[in-house]
Chain A
Amino acid sequence: QSALTQPRSVSGSPGQSVAISCTGTSSDVGGYNYVSWYQQHPGKAPKLMIYDVSKRPSGVPDRFSGSKSGNTASLTISGLQAEDEADYYCCSYAGNPYVFGTGTKVTVL
Chain B
Amino acid sequence: EVQLVESGGGLVQPGGSLRLSCVVSGFTFSSHWMSWVRQAPGKGLEWVANIDQNGNEKYYVDSMKGRFTISRDNAKNSVYLQMNSLRVEDTAVYYCAKYSGYDLDYWGQGTLVTVSS
List 4 A-B pairs, minimum CB-CB distance, nearest first.
A34-B102, A51-B103, A36-B103, A103-B44
Interface status of B108 (Cβ within 8 A of chain A): yes
Q: Is the CB of B44 within 8 A of A89?
A: yes
Which residues on B sit within 8 Å (CB–CB) of A93?
102
Interface status of A64 (Cβ within 8 A of chain B): no
The distance from the CB of B84 to the nearest CB of chain A, in whole angstroms, is 19
How many pairs of residues, A versus B, come closer than 8 Å at their CB atoms?
Answer: 65
Interface status of A102 (Cβ within 8 A of chain B): yes
Q: Is the CB of A52 within 8 A of B45?
A: no
Interface status of A96 (Cβ within 8 A of chain B): yes
The distance from the CB of A15 to the nearest CB of chain B, in whole angstroms, is 28
Q: Is the CB of B109 within 8 A of A99?
A: no
Which residues on A sit within 8 Å (CB–CB) of B59?
96-97
Given contacts A1-B61, A45-B107, A48-B103, contact A98 B50 (CB under 8 A): yes
Which residues on A sit within 8 Å (CB–CB) of B95?
45-46
Interface status of B101 (Cβ within 8 A of chain A): yes
Q: Is the CB of A36 within 8 A of B108?
A: no
Give the complex CA separation of A38 and B45 in angstroms.
10
The distance from the CB of A68 to the nearest CB of chain B, in whole angstroms, is 14
Which residues on A sit within 8 Å (CB–CB) of B37?
46, 100
Task: Please indicate which of the listed interface residues B46, B104, B105, B108 has the most CB atoms of chain A within 10 Å of its own CB.
Answer: B104
Given contact pairs A38-B104, A98-B47, A103-B44, a sample of 14 additional A-B residue pairs in the complex whose CB atoms are under 8 Å apart: A1-B61, A34-B101, A34-B102, A45-B107, A46-B45, A46-B95, A48-B104, A51-B103, A51-B105, A89-B44, A97-B47, A97-B61, A98-B50, A99-B47
